[in-house]
Amino acid sequence: MNRSSNHFDDDLNQCVQTMRDGSKSFFAASRVLPSRVRDPATALYAFCRITDDIADAADATAESIHTLQERLTAIYAGHPGDIPADRALSEVVRAFDIPKELPLALIEGYEWDTQYRTYETFDDLLDYCARVAGTVGAMMCLIMGKREPETLARACDLGLAMQLTNIARDVGDDALNGRIYLPLQWLREEGINKEEWLQNPQFNESLSRVVARLLKEADLLYKQAEIGIIDLPWDCRPAIQAARLIYAEIGRELERLNLDSVSVRAVVSKQRKLVLLTHAASAIIAKFSSRRMAKEAHRSIQFLIDAVSKTPHIRHYGGTIYERLTWVVDLLERVEERKREAELSVEDRFQAGGLG
C-alpha cells in the first residue's frame, strides 16, 4: 500500500468503530474473518455505511448523490478526501482490483432511495437489491480473492437475500420515512393500496402474507448462496456462513412475531448469534450441495459479474507464509473438487448407458 501502515491503521480503527456502531450482526460475523480479509472488509463496510447514512438523510438530494460520486472518483484516482473511510477504501480498491462500476452501482441504488422509488414487480425490487447489496457481496468476494463468475453470482445472491431480509424487517420503519419497498404487484394482490397504507401504516393479515412471501424468496437465495461458500478460502467460510445464518435468523425471529414488522422490530439475541457462530465454524470442512445444482446468475446481478470479468487483475502470490499456505490449501481443494466432479460425470454417463 502507498500510505504508511500507521496511517492506514488509524483510518482502519475509525472504520472499525463505524462498523461496531452500525451493524452488530455484520460486526459479529466479521470477527471470524482472517485479518487479511477482515481489515479491507471493514474499510468497505465503513464507506458503505457512511454513504448510506448520507443518502438516507431526510434532506438528501441529487446534489448529495453527486457529491458521493465525486468522492468515489477521487478514491479511484488515488486522491481521496480527508475522510478515514475514503482513504481506507482507496487502498482497498487498488489492492484488490475492484472495478469502479461496483461502488458506482451502489451509489446508484442510493440515488433511487432519494427519489423514493417504488418497485412494481419482484424483479424490479431485485434490480434495487443488486445495487445496494449485490454490489457489496461482489466486492467482498473480490477481497477474499475470488473472481470466478459462479462464485461472484453466489456472493451476489447472499447480498440479495440479506437486503430482502432487511426490507421484510423494516416495513414499519420505512413507512415512517415515506418509503415502501414491497412489490406493488404483491400488495395489490392482497388488496393493499400503497398510498392509503402509507398514510396509516398498520399491520394486518394481508400484509403478513406479503412479508412471508418476501422471506420465502430470501430463503431461496440464502440456500443458493450457500452453494458458493465451499468455493471461498477455507478460513473465510465460517464468517460468511455466520453472516448467512445470522441474517436468515432475522426472518425466523420475524416469523415468531407473526410477521409483524410494523409494530415491532425483529432482533436476533446475542446468545442466539453465539450459537450460530458456533454452527458456522463447521463451514471450514463442510461440503455443501453440488455446484451443478447452482443456477445461472440472475439478470439483476449479471452486470456486476460482467464488470469484474472485464477488469484486469494481477494475481499476487506474496504475503505471509500463512497466506501462501492458505492459497495452496485452496488450490488443492479445487483440484480435488474437479476430480470428484469428473468422477460424477463418468458415473452419470455410465448410468445413462453412454459408456456401454
Residue 1 has pLDDT above 50, yes or no: no
pTM of the model: 0.84
The CA distance from 218 to 250, in Å, is: 11
Q: Give, in degrees to the nearest 5, the angle at Cα 4 between 318 and 34.
A: 50
Cell digits of residue 180: 415502501
- 102-125 in b/e form (b: 16+ CB < 10 A) is bbbbbbbbbbbbbeeebbeebebb
| Percent residues over pLDDT 70 in the chain | 79
Same-domain check for residues 253 and 172: yes
Can you spell out the DSSP letters for 215-272? HHHHHHHHHHHHHHHTTS-TTTHHHHHHHHHHHHHHHHHHHHTTT-TTTS-----HHH
At 197, list the grid cell.
397504507
Same domain (yes/no): 325, 256: no
According to the model, what pLDDT value does residue 30 have? 67
d(CA 132, CA 179): 16
Same domain, 220 and 330: no
In this structure, the answer to whether residues 229 and 352 fall within a common structural domain is no
Q: How large is the average pLDDT for residues 55-75?
A: 92
Which residues contact residue 303 at a Cβ distance below 8 angstroms, ignoring those fewer than 6 apart?
101, 105, 130
Residues spanned by the domain of 287: 5-316
Shared domain check, 266 and 335? no
Those residues with Cβ within 8 angstroms of residue 237's Cβ, 6 or more apart along the chain or in another chain: 229, 230, 283, 284, 286
Compute the distance between CA of residue 331 and CA of residue 286 in angstroms, rounded to an integer: 17
Q: What is the pLDDT confidence band of residue 159, given thresholds at 50, 70 and 90?
A: very high
| Judgement on whether residues 70 and 165 belong to the same structural domain of the protein | yes
Distances from the Cα of 133 to the Cα of 98, 125, 150, angstroms: 15, 12, 17
Q: Cα–Cα distance between 200 and 291 in angstroms, integer? A: 46
Lowest mean pLDDT among 77-86, 238-247, 316-325: 316-325
Give 19's contacts (C-beta < 8 A, 6+ positions apart): 26, 27, 30, 42, 45, 46, 49
Residue 80 has pLDDT above 60, yes or no: yes
Cα–Cα distance for residue pair 36/55, rounded to 1 Å: 30
Indicate whether 333 pLDDT > 90.
Answer: no
Given this model, what pLDDT does residue 74 score?
97
3-state helix, strand, coil in the chain (%, to 5): 70, 0, 30
Q: How far apart are CA 104 and CA 109, in angstroms?
A: 9
138-151 pLDDT, tens per residue?
999 999 999 999 99
Secondary structure (DSSP) of 118-167: --SSHHHHHHHHIIIIIHHHHHHHHHTT---HHHHHHHHHHHHHHHHHHH
pLDDT at 152: 97
Residue 193 belongs to a domain with what CATH number? 1.10.600.10
Question: 150: exposed, middle or buried (C-beta count within 10 Å: 0-12, 13-18, 19+)?
Answer: middle
Question: Are 223 and 306 found together in one domain?
Answer: yes
For the chain, what is the domain count?
A: 2
| 301/349 same-domain check | no
Q: Are residues 116 and 13 in the same domain?
A: yes
Looking at the structure, do residues 327 and 231 belong to the same domain, yes or no?
A: no
Q: Is the pLDDT reported for residue 199 higher than 90?
A: yes
Report the pLDDT averaged over residues 177-182: 96
Handedness of CA 28, 32, 38, 44 (dihedral sign): negative
Do both 234 and 339 map to the same domain?
no
pLDDT at 329 over 80: no
Lowest mean pLDDT among 291-300, 303-312, 335-344: 335-344
Which pLDDT belongs to residue 9? Answer: 72
Rounded to an integer, the average pLDDT of 44-66 is 89
pLDDT number for residue 222: 97
Q: Considering Cα of 166, then 172, then 177, then 179, what sign does the dihedral take?
A: positive
Number of helices (H), then strands (E), belonging to the chain: the values are 17, 0
State the average pLDDT over residues 51-55.
89
With CA atoms as reference, report the closest residue to 146 among 88, 97, 205.
97
- Looking at the fold, whether 204 and 73 belong to one and the same domain comes out as yes
